[in-house]
Structure 1
Amino acid sequence: MKFWRKYHPDIDAADPRYKQVSLIYSILLIMIAYFGIIGTLNITLFDAPEIAFFDYLGLTLAVSILWFVNKGGNFKVASWAVIIAIATILLAFVHLAEGRNYSLMWVTILPPFAFFLLGRRDGSWVSAIILGYCSWYMYQLINQQVTANLSLGALFNFIEVATAQVFLFRFYENSRQEAYDQLQKTAITDPLTKVFNRLHLDNTLSAVISQANRANQPVSVLLLDVDHFKDVNDKYGHLIGDKVLIKLCDVLRDTIRETDSLGRWGGEEFLVICPNTNQQQAMQLGQRIIENVRAEAIENNIHITVSIGTATYTNNGTDTIDQLLLSADENLYRAKHGGRDQVLGMP
């Protein structure tokens, strides 16, 4: 287990922040070790106190940012602080060395950190500004003939490398983000119906309930089941049965509100999570679903009906998620055994 997990127990490998936080901690630990060791060497061996000052400044900044994230600080702020600290120290070294001793080469480590921590857009303009400034500074040194180590050829080489870095890392970050987005979508989506899967519904319901507790608002769920779905499969085949479920989800998406979440609970059962919705509103939504499904021809003029059980979480001190789902399931059972094609709530 990564040591930082004890400071952020809510962030696991499935969290989008996981990689960013891992990188922040890795960079900070490297900065602390590097600046601490090099700063000491610059004082004891190389007699370079002016460089050591910036080494210890980098060490101080890294320790401060580490303390900030350990205390639960905003990761976006921490990411910007890391990039600003690295850029500040690198530019200070470039100016102290006046382009000598390959100081400009060190600036090329900034783009990967900027893209990985800040993302495509911010990483692009931050890298472009820093590298552009270094190109301008290098040009000034050449004009002033500060050092014989620099030439127009060296300047053009630096600009070429800097430009290639920005475009390559931007392309890489685009590809990585697209792959991650697709993976995230696949991980939370039912492959047949393209609605949310059971795992995502569980996580969404927990988040909605937490928000409802803070805002003291009700949350309702609608658990619905396709009536006589086995007969549809037996009569028309499983391929038609799959099309029935797909078309049903289309009807459900068109009926529920934008704030509601729809997912496949299992088999031919589906769950709708309705934030800030009381029992009466849930029953009204359930009735609209009943009517819309009943009126829609699904496949080859096949008509189906659904039964729905509703339940409402009211944050009364005794309600739990398990009780909420159990109540919805019991009401669905009553709707099925009471004639189907109906919505039932609290008895």
Structure 2
Amino acid sequence: MASILSLALIPAGVANAQTVQAAFAKGGRVSVVYDGGMSGTLTVQDRRNGAQLQLGGINLNLAGSRQIPISGGYHAEVVYDGSTVRGTDALTSNSDVFTGGTSTFYGTRSGEVCDIVDNFGHQFRATCSLTRFEYEQDDSGPGSRTVMRLAAVATSAVDLVEQDRINQQAQLAAQRQREAEQAMAAQEEAAFQAMLASRPAASRSQTTALEQAIAQDSQSWLFNRFDPGSVNSVVVMPASNDGLVTVRGNYSFNGGAPGWVEARLQAGVVQCVVYWDFQDSCRPVMSAPAPRDQASGETSTAYQSQREAEQEFYRRQTEEEIANTYNRRNNIYNSPE
């Protein structure tokens, strides 16, 4: 019998062999996978004179008995936990007269001996260690008897308690990483908001140009709807090398959902816009990316028709609402202090 204290006998698939070996010896929670083979005989007998039985391609005279050799593969996955053992196994047969199958089992373990009962009610005593799993099974039924020897060697083993500890450490490290990233993002956002607060307010003409650009651009939006008169907190961003002026402001859509937009102006005219939900590039006004047909890659015809109808409707509605808003603002601007 192989000694569980010999590291040389632990299979190559076992990580941290000493830890697994110590856990198994102390009755810890260890999972082991075994692979091997099955061999035995199937004995068929019947006392009825002249009885015939066909198994696969073999015709048997059942006035007596016939022994048929059987063989196949054997795979088992076993969890040892203190004095208890549970697992699953699977047989594959090389013969037409024996089909193999799968089963579950449970039992008790003492050292390298396991007393096991499977889900079919078969009871057997197995040699169970970190290196091998072996037992014999004698299964008798009406007119037949199957005697098998199943032997498999361990291909991998895991100390489940140690694995849980490692997993918990990994989860804790991942949580700390997420918290650190969130803290850094919060710091960056706070610094950015402080920068915005320190920027000079945009002029009335710049604010007007930004709101008109959003209103015009929103005609190309498929799902969101700009809330006219919602543009606020417009500031002038730091100067760029190309001489264009960048302004940034907040707005709302769909009845109060918040968003922000940046616009680049040349001589007071908006050249392009960058939105909070599409920050990849500064794109010209009225050039929102259109949905593509997944099969052809072309712009959806239904989308084009819908957008044309929506553009006309929202153009009239938005222009009227913005005009009313500008009139209210002008009254405020022009009112005496």
For the aligned pair, the TM-score class normalised by the smaller chain equals under 0.3
Structure (1/2) with the larger helix percentage: 1
User: TM-score of the superposition, structure 2-length normalised?
Assistant: 0.24
Q: Which has the larger radius of gyration?
A: 2
Give the TM-score taking structure 1 as reference length: 0.24
